[in-house]
Amino acid sequence: MTDLTHLFDDHKDTVYRFLRYQLQSHEDACDGVQEVFLRAWKAWNGYRREANPRTWLLSIARYYAIDVIRKRRRNAIDFVDHVPDQPSPDAPASYRLELEETLATLRPNYRQVFLLRCIEDLPIQEVARILGWTSARVQVTYFRAVRELRVLLADEDPGEDVNVR
């Protein structure tokens, strides 16, 4: 246990700085320091002492940061769980035609996911089953499709903001 106490005392600031720059939040970095040393404590018996302890801890910190960033992305995608404004049947034909032309320029995967999620209004799990994908892949592809559509539609009419909720 003494080794772990010294390990914490010697490397807590290094781990904090690394996580602070990776996660860009003081609170997340402080939480991360605790989590990294908790993970180190759990893995202590498996630590072969071939690597420098700082390297080992920063490796644990790196994987922790990756986990946090992935979770943030998932939460951001869930937050943007959205159905964009769809053209109503009364919308001018030119608007519907522009949307169809823009959708046609998307990559096939982006177009499929966007159509199933937005036009067909299917839940992520159902889209995943239809495409034979994981829910995570559907979420990421949908997020990218929406981002690309925003760019494409903004280029065509810079004064108009694409509204995706």
DSSP secondary structure letter of residue 118: I
Cα–Cα distance, 33 to 14 (Å, whole number): 9
Contact call for residues 95 and 74 (beta carbons, < 8 A): no
Q: Domains along the chain?
A: 2-79 (1.10.1740.10), 93-156 (1.10.10.10)
Q: What is the DSSP letter of 126?
A: H
pLDDT band at 160 (very low <50, low <70, confident <90, very high): very low
Say what the pLDDT of residue 135 is: 92
Residue 33 contacts residue 15 (beta carbons within 8 Å): yes
Q: Would you call 161 helix, strand, or coil by DSSP?
A: coil
The pLDDT, as a whole number, for residue 120 is 65
pLDDT number for residue 140: 95
Q: Which residue has the higher pLDDT, 87 or 137?
A: 137
Q: Are residues 138 and 81 in contact, defined by beta-carbon separation less than 8 angstroms?
A: no
DSSP symbols for 3-44: HHHHHHHHHHHHHHHHHHHHH--HHHHHHHHHHHHHHHHHHG
- What is the band of 107 on the pLDDT scale with cuts at 50, 70, 90? confident
Total-model pTM? 0.48
